Amino acid sequence: MLELNGMKVSDYIVRFLEEQNITDVFGYPGGMVTHLMDSLSRSKIRSHVTYHEQGAAFAACGYAQTTGKTGVAYATSGPGATNLITGICNAYFDSVPTLFITGQVNTFESKEDLPVRQRGFQETDIVSIVNPVTKYAVKITDPDDIRFIMEKAFAVSSEGRKGPVLIDIPMNVLRADVDVPSLRGFEHEHVNKDINTKAIEESLRNSSRPVILAGAGLKSSVPAKELDLILSKLNIPVVTTMLAVDTYKDSYGFIGAYGSRTANFIVAKSDLVISLGARLDVRQVGAKRENFAPNAKILRVDIDSGELKLKVHDDEIQIEADAGIILNHLKDLELPDYTEWNGVCRKIRDELKDIDDRLPNVLVKRLSSVIPEGSVITTDVGQNQVWIAQSFEVKEDQRIFFSGGHGAMGYSLPAAIGCAEATGGNVYSFSGDGGIQMNIQELQTIRRENLPVKIILFNNSSLGMIRHFQEMYFEGNYVQTIPSGGYTVPDFKAVAGAYGLPYTRIEKAEDIHGDIFDIEGPQFIEVFIDEPTYVFPKLEFGKPNQDQEPLLDRSVYTKIMDL
């Protein structure tokens, strides 16, 4: 632990972060965090200024998702703190370990229990606001609590189901001196829980058609190369959730409303679903939960006991544990021969090959073919996100990051900044024309630091996901989603030029060639799509997952179900 005696609290925080091997933090300047900014400037930690606090929050998420370490972002009080909230929610719902440090007005000008809205300028009770979407949120009023709170925050962010924590620090506390040796520490209790591995072994012995459903919990628990190696050795078919499409390069795709028909059919025909770190929410299993894997026993592994309370099948087997621990147990078991079942799964895939490929899917496949192994990919929210999940052909050691549970447009670009700062390598940031404008100011961060972020913009001049809904449910009243309805987009070539970014225009798949990403540093690549875009296949509410729109010819559907 830190051995220096007298030390300013802001200096203590920075030294503590250094001890945790945090190399980069993200934030935006403000009066109440000037002491923290000054301390960071005299440390080994690289402090990156974004151009909006939401950008800093998403960058911290990207850093954490790439490294597995706790991502750190800071902001001043009031609007600075509230601008972090979307990123905090993203970290909470997608289980991303993050620490958010907010400045606060001096304790002597705080309203405390006074019946007024605020007393100090830009005073906002951020702790009360973010309590529902953090694992731990606290305001420090006594400088001598700093060690205890920092140690607790780091422990809480990474234990169990990971997530965000927030520490709110008044300016006079940040500048106060503390006697480091006398500071009390946080004693963390580790609880070891018994795991019912016999239920796993018995389920597999009684199964002839098992399938592993890999979720985001598994992805965050096991390193990519190790995960791919274990899953390949098990010889059990693998499907994934959307957030975990990169867990296994030979999977049959992701399940659910917008998922792969192949994956959905395999689950429907299985007799055992081993769910590892998947929430099994409505988009994954459908509105009628009993329709999901109707002939299968569900063996459900989740580190969060709360997720297990919403059952899919009344008789499901539940194991509260880290998904990675269970996977490691599986690899040591002597498993039956699943050759025949694997053959059925391959037949399903062959029968449905390319059946849902449309222009955006073809473009994604072509782009993925020229993105090298070991790359990091970020996506935004909307149609582009689903096209990537459906059609990106994952290579070895590639990682794809989404804004999943919160579904925040504007995630991809700043998250890519965090990924690039963490790895130093190329990051491929996919966005739609709507999402990129949510945090378009972060193009300046990329240009200023000359980050190797390759920005791939799918421009269909519309908010395609909502436009499709309007076509289905509102008789084509495209209000606020296409140019004639009031939604327009800028000249992105001019935008790229204003930020000094090399620009490439793509109009067809043939424009995507092997050296398209050969420019060093950042690039802006605009992919024009001049037709109405859709996300298919798509599940109609209430139907079983494997019966997606547009409906398969009934003879093909029956043929697959009879395999």
Q: What is the pLDDT of residues 124-159, one digit of tens each?
A: 999 999 999 999 999 999 999 999 999 999 999 999
Query: Among residues of the chain, what percentage have pLDDT more than 90?
Result: 88
* Angle between the N-to-C axes of helices 554-561 and 261-269, in degrees from 0 to 180, rounded to the nearest 10: 40
Q: Kind and range of the H or E element at 559?
A: helix 554-561
Report d(CA 371, CA 557) in Å as an integer.
Answer: 35
The residue whose two tokens read 């006079």 is 172
Report d(CA 122, CA 79) in Å as an integer: 7
Q: Beta strand pairing status for 136-139 and 177-179?
A: unpaired
> Do residues 435 and 382 touch, judged by C-beta distance below 8 A?
yes
CB 220 within 8 A of CB 159: no
C-alpha gyration radius of the chain? 25
Contact assessment for residue 209 and residue 269, using Cβ atoms and an 8 Å cutoff = yes
pLDDT per residue as tens digits for the range 378-387 = 999 999 999 9
> Pick the residue with more confidence: 335 or 502?
502
Q: Quote the pLDDT of residue 226.
A: 87
Sign of torsion over alpha carbons 34, 36, 39, 45: negative
Mean pLDDT score across all residues of the chain: 95
The three-state (H, E, C) secondary structure of 31-89, written as one string: HHHHHHHHHHHCCCCEEEECCCHHHHHHHHHHHHHHHCCCEEEEECCCHHHHCCHHHHH
Structure-model confidence comparison of residues 288 and 527, the more confident one: 527
Mean pLDDT on 465-494? 96
Helices 9-19 and 34-41 cross at an angle (nearest 10°) of 50
State residue 78's pLDDT score. 97
201 pLDDT above the threshold of 70: yes
Sheet of 453-459: strands edge to edge?
A: 399-401, 376-378, 427-432, 453-459, 523-528, 503-506
* Residues recorded for the chain: 563
CA dihedral angle for residue 367, residue 64, residue 231, residue 426, rounded to 10 degrees: 30
Residue 4 has pLDDT above 60, yes or no: no
What integer pLDDT is reported at residue 3 of this predicted model?
A: 52
Q: Helix 146-158 vs helix 9-19: angle between axes, to the nearest 10 degrees?
A: 30
Q: Give whole-number Cα distances, 325 to 138, 218, 455, 501, in Å.
A: 32, 9, 36, 45
Is the pLDDT at 62 greater than 70, yes or no? yes
Query: Could you give all domains of the chain from N- to C-terminal order, each with its CATH number?
Result: 6-182 (3.40.50.970), 197-352 (3.40.50.1220), 359-528 (3.40.50.970)
Q: Given a cut of 50, is residue 1 above it in pLDDT?
A: no
Strands (E), 173-277: 177-179, 210-214, 238-240, 272-276
d(CA 246, CA 399): 6
Mention every residue, 6+ apart, whose C-beta is less than 8 A from residue 226. Answer: none
Query: Of the given ranges (145-159, 215-229, 484-498, 545-559), which has the lowest mean pLDDT?
Result: 215-229
The C-alpha atoms of residue 415 and residue 26 are separated, in whole angstroms, by: 11
- SS3 of residue 169 by DSSP: strand
- Is residue 374 over pLDDT 70? yes
> For residue range 409-459, what is the model confidence (pLDDT) as tens digits?
999 999 999 999 999 999 999 999 999 999 999 999 999 999 999 999 999
